[in-house]
Amino acid sequence: MKTSEIEEILNSFDGITRAKAKPFMYTRVMARLQEENSFWSRTTRILSRPAIAFISLVIIVLINVFSIIKANSIVNEQEEITSFVHNTSAVEVLQNDNFILAVNDVNTY
């Protein structure tokens, strides 16, 4: 391409006039504002903010971690109770056995 042709292209914006917006811009902007002020639009806008989204995510993760820890502690408590019950019953069985043996001994004498 010739230098003169390039210069002509570079100057082709000379004398440009502004493009005109479609009529009733104000009415359309007001309609959009009303739409943006509706409950759902506001809620979505608030929730989609990065800070809010991040905080919500952190809260959800914390709730999950808390529930897992809580569930684990319940399982441990149950295991402790079960082992206690088992141990207690074993002792009781031994005690009963000893009692029966003692009674038998008394009876034989």
Tell me: does residue 29 bind other proteins (CB under 8 A). Answer: yes
Task: Look up residue 34 and give its two tokens.
Answer: 């009303």
10: part of which helix (H) or strand (E)?
helix 3-10
* C-alpha span between 78 and 36 (Å, rounded): 53
The DSSP annotation for 77-107 comes to HHHHHHHHHHHHHHHHHHHHHHHHHHHHHHH
Whole-angstrom Cα distance, residue 96 to residue 107?
A: 16
List the one residue from 9, 59, 65, 75 that touches other proteins (CB under 8 A).
9
Q: Based on the shown chain and the rule CB under 8 A, indicate whether residue 32 belongs to the binding site for other proteins.
A: yes
Residue 38 Cβ vs other proteins, minimum distance, rounded to whole Å: 13
Per CB under 8 A, which region of 23-31, 67-75, 83-91, 97-105 contacts other proteins?
23-31
Q: Is the CB of residue 95 less than 8 Å from the CB of residue 87? A: no
Site string for other proteins, 34-73 (x = CB under 8 A): --x-------------------------------------
20 binds other proteins (CB under 8 A): yes
Tokens of 70: 């809580």
Which residues contact other proteins by CB under 8 A? 1, 6, 8-10, 12-22, 25-26, 28-30, 32-33, 36
